[in-house]
Amino acid sequence: MKRILSILVTLALMLGVCGTFAEEQGTPISGLTALKAEDPAQMAKLIPEFDPAADVYAMYVQSDVYGVRFTPEFIGDDEATVFMSGDGVDSKVVSVASGESFILDLTQQQSMYEREVVSTAVIAVSDKSYTINVHRGDGSALYDAFELLTYSMPDGHDMNYWLHIPEDYDANKEYPVVLYLHGGGQTRQEPGMILKRTQQATAFLAYGYEDAIIIAPHGNYTTMDSEVMGWDYNSQMYGTDEREAQLTVFGEGAYQILQNVKAEYSVDNNRVYVTGGSMGGGGTLAMIASYPEQFAAALACCSGTNTDKLVSALESSPVALWLVFGQGDPIVDYGKFSETPAALDAAGIPYNITVYDQNTFLYPTAHFSWMPAYADTEILAWMFSQHKSASENEIIDIKFEEGTQNEGIDFDPAVKEYEVTLQSDIYGVRVTPYGNGTFTVNDVEVKGGESYTLALSEDHGDYRKELVYDIVVKDADNTYTIKAVREDGSYHYDAFELNTFTLPDGKDMNYWLSVPSDYDATKEYPVVLALHGSGQRTQPPEMILQRSIQANAFVKNGYEAIIIAPQCNYTDLPQEVLSWCDEESKPTIFAQGAYDILQMIKQQYSIDADRVYITGLSNGGRGTQGLIAAYPDEFAAALIIAAYQEMTLSQWDAVVRSNIPLWFVTHVDDVMPAAGVAANTLKLKKLGYDYNLTVYPSTVYLAPTAHFSWVPAYDDSDILDWMFAQSK
């Protein structure tokens, strides 16, 4: 699961809602006065928010976004000139008037889904220019969560299908199942395009439903003509009204694959869902028309079906249904689509519907209405709240989240009490009950799929205590209690000893040092230099270890290393002059002191000089960047988290020439670091240098704010193992 989150935009799963931000401090004489940005998933945001004084912006978009629409407003010129370029797309120049939109394309090349791509727009107006870099990340981690398998059809042909099984699958637990049916475009494409072309099957992983079993069959025989391919005999495609809503050999094959998976794995038969867009939307409706007793819910995008068959099936065995359509769809006629809700209304069958109007930006065409639908957390929460036999106001699942992104509870309606252990730097938890109806969490009313958050203590005196929080979740007939126990962190704090180092000006600098308890001078040990954030500059030195599990994360997670955690602090200096680096990303006396402490420790202990690592969070991330630029030959790897300062191209060039492996971490809602990471990684991209990037999306819960992206990062074994695997 951690790797899936990492991508999450290593790719681009990057979320939020973007709007127009006008200047509040007066109108400039010339230049931009507003800039609106829209992506088809309706989730990306402009970073930072528009400010007439800012001239560089970034956006992170999910892996199936092929264009972003921008609407600039400006004064001083009648037209602005926009220069557009990007990976895998043709460069072009357009002119726009104030308030007129332009679209920045992102590549649709099939070979470019498993890498980060960037498209850039430069808006030139009056004597000013504004640069927007749109990052679409590598989706590999989502794709790699699926395994490609084959099913032998009755006629002897093999049918491919992708299968995702939860990483920690437990045969004693029952799992919801999603059957996803792709659109017509993928019938003749290679199987990987089912996952890559559209973020539909992968959306459930990207948005936090990695505990579901997901099946994505491929409606394709390589030996058959494309005109006979499809999940059902949809009249729009085949002109056979009399067979509409009847499953084809591919639809029946998908159904049989579902039955085989249900037989092989531990499945909650009351939580089986089917979904698809376009041809897959028609297949979804045909599937519930053919086998309504099998499914608890269906999400069908941009398609229609034989309404008589559908209504008859849903009257015999109700299925919760959500329909989606985009007005202006050039493939599916709105009149054809509207027959389905009209028939359901006439029969009194309840359903949900979302129709995106023609002002909604859908791209490449309005047919792509599945893009905002599968990124809509309300729709996804609705689907996973459906249960075939649950009564109204009955809880069918509870999701428990905290900052490390570890698994919370394995909910079982028969089990009323749960206990979760939290590490000592967790400052909030989020609880989401699922089901049809309204529930209470600690006496606060929430609907199924809505979340309740509980803040935990940030008092300095509580880190060496075990704290217990009870969370009580109730439905109409049941009470569930979650006991959240935040552990006493003393066992990893006490692995460090506080020391002082005398700086050149004669003042002492505190630093914590951890040496393996069984230290052996005949062995060589890796060493980690860990730089704290701004908050600990004027706090007691103990807070370096206690406020954030950073330096001590390596002890807590069992890495045998020497760890140095200096403090950027003089007791007689004000906080505003304390920093690891100056505004030009050059080391201050504090960062230089940290480096000198490192050199001293290397002399005092048996160190593996090829495995010297550096990491920092927030202001410490800035310090990490500054030190690797100043001393590029020193470090074997750098882990840079929530750093908000941009370095120059020449500074990064020094890092590149020394070939230092890099991993950047941020959260898309942490605006300044997200912008800083975007700017720095773009420079590395221009230098042709590879790096690792984790951008947590808006759906990833962090407390007390999105700035705390180091909490999951320092608990992510993929990231920490990567660092300790590096050697010069």
Per-residue model confidence (pLDDT) at position 578: 76
For the ranges 581-590, 632-641, 643-652, the maximum mean pLDDT occurs at 632-641
Determine what percent of the chain is predicted with pLDDT higher than 70.
92
Which residues are bridge partners to 161 per DSSP? 149, 217
Which residues are bridge partners to 56 per DSSP? 131
Per-residue model confidence (pLDDT) at position 583: 87
- Position 305 confidence tier, pLDDT thresholds 50, 70, 90: confident
Distance CA 8, CA 139 (A): 8
* Three-state secondary-structure class, residue 354: strand
- Position 415 confidence tier, pLDDT thresholds 50, 70, 90: very high
Is the pLDDT reported for residue 269 higher than 90? yes
Residues 6 or more apart from 667 whose CB is under 8 A from it? 642, 673, 674, 695, 696, 700, 702, 706, 707, 709
Per-residue model confidence (pLDDT) at position 6: 43
Per-residue model confidence (pLDDT) at position 15: 33
Instruction: For residue 390, give the nearest of 444, 432, 350, 448 by alpha carbon.
Output: 448
DSSP per residue, 123-152 = EEETTEEEEEEEEE---HHHHTTSEEEEEE
Residue 142 gets the label, from left (phi > 0), alpha (psi -120 to 50) or beta, of alpha
Is the pLDDT reported for residue 498 higher than 70? yes
Per-residue model confidence (pLDDT) at position 222: 53
Cα angle: 144, vertex 147, 149; to 5 degrees: 155
Burial class (CB in 10 A: 0-12, 13-18, 19+), 44: buried
Please write the tens of the pLDDT for every residue from 590-642. Answer: 999 999 999 999 999 999 999 999 999 999 999 999 999 999 999 999 999 99
Average of per-residue pLDDT values in the chain: 91
Cβ atoms within 10 A of the Cβ of 610, count? Answer: 11
Weakest-pLDDT range from 64-68, 473-477, 577-581: 577-581
Is the separation of the CB atoms in 211 and 170 below 8 Å? Answer: no
Is the separation of the CB atoms in 213 and 174 below 8 Å? Answer: no
* Three-state secondary-structure class, residue 338: helix
- Position 672 confidence tier, pLDDT thresholds 50, 70, 90: confident
- Position 259 confidence tier, pLDDT thresholds 50, 70, 90: very high
Distance CA 429, CA 421 (A): 12
Per-residue model confidence (pLDDT) at position 520: 97
DSSP tally for the chain: helices H, then strands E: 20, 32
Cβ atoms within 10 A of the Cβ of 158, count? Answer: 13
Per-residue model confidence (pLDDT) at position 233: 80
Please write the tens of the pLDDT for every residue from 170-211. Answer: 999 999 999 999 998 898 889 999 999 999 999 999 998 999
Query: Cα–Cα distances in Å, from 159 out to 254, 273, 291, 425?
Result: 9, 21, 21, 48
- Position 221 confidence tier, pLDDT thresholds 50, 70, 90: low
- Token reading at 112: 């470019």
- Position 224 confidence tier, pLDDT thresholds 50, 70, 90: low
Distance CA 423, CA 646 (A): 32
Distance CA 238, CA 233 (A): 6
Average pLDDT over residues 471-496: 96
Instruction: For residue 470, give the nearest of 485, 488, 490 by alpha carbon.
Output: 485
- pTM, two decimal places: 0.88
Return the residue matching tokens 């049809």. Answer: 436
- Position 228 confidence tier, pLDDT thresholds 50, 70, 90: low
- Token reading at 476: 């109409």
Please write the tens of the pLDDT for every residue from 426-436. Answer: 999 999 999 99
Would you report the helix, strand and coil content of the chain in percent, each value rounded to 5? 25, 30, 45
Distance CA 628, CA 727 (A): 15
Strands laid side by side in the 692-696 sheet: 497-502, 508-514, 562-566, 525-531, 607-617, 637-641, 662-667, 692-696
Per-residue model confidence (pLDDT) at position 464: 96
Q: Where are the alpha helices (DSSP H) in 159-278?
A: 193-196, 203-206, 235-238, 249-264
Determine what percent of the chain is predicted with pLDDT higher than 90.
80
Distance CA 583, CA 255 (A): 61
Is the separation of the CB atoms in 191 and 218 below 8 Å? Answer: yes
Element (H, E) at 384: helix 377-384
Instruction: For residue 594, give the nearest of 556, 631, 558 by alpha carbon.
Output: 631
Distance CA 61, CA 727 (A): 33
- Position 392 confidence tier, pLDDT thresholds 50, 70, 90: confident
Cβ atoms within 10 A of the Cβ of 163, count? Answer: 18
Per-residue model confidence (pLDDT) at position 314: 96
Please write the tens of the pLDDT for every residue from 113-154. Answer: 999 999 999 999 988 999 999 999 899 999 999 999 999 988
Burial class (CB in 10 A: 0-12, 13-18, 19+), 112: middle
Q: Where are the alpha helices (DSSP H) in 449-495?
A: 490-493
Distance CA 722, CA 116 (A): 19
Is the separation of the CB atoms in 397 and 384 below 8 Å? Answer: yes
Higher pLDDT, 552 or 535: 552
